[in-house]
Chains A and B, each alone.
Chain A
């Protein structure tokens, strides 16, 4: 059958256009970019450990701040979403029948993500509140 010109150019076919498939694709890109841009900074801040205790402890103290704590929480959420959604992508890529259930797989992924984020939100949220109180 004839492939629509747009689908051919994009290379993803129409399975990934519109609704859950496309939103998870957007979310995968956005979380991926957030993670790699943070990683660029994180490799540098961790590398400071090679310059001794004074330098490293000064750099790491930047993290002990409620605003950075919130950013840290967002980063953790991004990593966990990107990992779980990556598993969903691989299921669809390597197990042909999974493409028939891609919408259900998306909601399953979101359910696992939210279930996982509940304890993490309590733990990290508590720590952020403690930092504000102190």
Chain B
């Protein structure tokens, strides 16, 4: 059965009827299958973490206008928000870098260039993960002169 890419443009009458299918095909190899599954699991978690983050930081209240060092200091005085931000950092970077990897595999054909570009994404992702992790867990607002937030020794 010949199906060309413009099938959708044909009149309805002679458009080929797609067969009933059970569900979309899944990746065949074990590694790709688990990346596929990771994208969906991390996607559900990021639906809460990233959409929540965007609504809290960019929409609610006065949005980004109220964000400054003091705002972050108060926010990160709660372990809850540090955990939220670190989990979001980890999952979003992995989810996003894997997305870039899949897109690179789709559009870049020469094997050497593919590997080089994907190595680049991996290096950027790993570096930013390390930077973000160090900052989230070592941040100490009270260490800076002139910063007075609840919880700092006076």
Residues of A within 8 A of B (CB): 1-2, 4, 6-7, 11-19, 29, 32-33, 35-36, 39-40, 43-44, 46-47, 49-50, 52-53, 56-57, 60, 63-64, 72, 75-76, 79-80, 83, 86-87, 89-90, 92-96, 99-100, 120, 123-124, 127
Question: Which of B2, B24, B146 has a CB less than 8 Å from the CB of A53?
Answer: B146
Chain B residue nearest to A4 in the complex (CB)? B3
Tell me if B's interface is mostly helix, strand, loop or mixed: helix
- Check B7 against A32 for contact (C-beta < 8 Å): no
* CB <8 Å contact, A6 and B5: yes
Q: Which 8 A-B pairs have the closest CB atoms?
A: A36-B96, A18-B8, A53-B69, A50-B135, A96-B23, A43-B128, A19-B8, A47-B135
Question: Taking the nearest CB of chain B, how far is it from the CB of A56, in angstroms?
Answer: 5
Q: Is B147 an interface residue (CB 8 A)?
A: yes
Question: For residue A87, which residue of chain B has the nearest CB?
Answer: B47
Beyond A32-B99, A56-B69, A87-B47, 16 extra complex contacts between A and B, CB < 8 Å: A4-B1, A15-B21, A36-B92, A47-B135, A53-B70, A53-B146, A60-B68, A64-B64, A80-B54, A83-B47, A95-B23, A96-B23, A99-B24, A123-B63, A124-B58, A124-B63
Residue pair A12, B51 in contact (C-beta under 8 Å): no
Cβ B6 vs Cβ A90 within 8 A: no
B26-54 residues with Cβ-Cβ distance < 8 A to A are 26-27, 40, 43-44, 46-47, 50-51, 54
- Specify which chain A residues have a CB less than 8 angstroms from the CB of B24 in the assembled complex: 12-13, 15-16, 92-93, 99
Shortest distance in angstroms between A129's beta carbon and chain B's nearest beta carbon?
13
Chain A residues closer than 8 Å to B116, beta-carbon distance: none
CA distance A32 to B19 in the complex (A): 30
Asked whether, in the complex, the Cβ of B144 is within 8 Å of the Cβ of A44, the reply is no
Q: Is the CB of A52 within 8 A of B51?
A: no
Please, how many angstroms separate the alpha-carbon atoms of A40 and B62 in the complex? 25
Question: In whole angstroms, how far apart are the Cα atoms of A60 and B1 in the complex?
Answer: 58
**Chain A: which residue is nearest B10 at the CB level?**
A18
Q: Please name all residues of chain B whose beta carbon is closer than 8 Å to the beta carbon of A75 when the two chains form the complex.
A: 54, 58
For chain B, residues 61 to 78, give those with C-beta under 8 angstroms from any C-beta of chain A.
62-65, 67-70, 72
B128 touches A44 (CB 8 A): yes
Chain B residues whose CB sits within 8 angstroms of the CB of A95 once the complex forms? 23
Tell me the bound Cα distance from A88 to B48 in angstroms: 16
With a cutoff of 8 Å between Cβ atoms, the chain A residues found around residue B9 in the complex are: 18
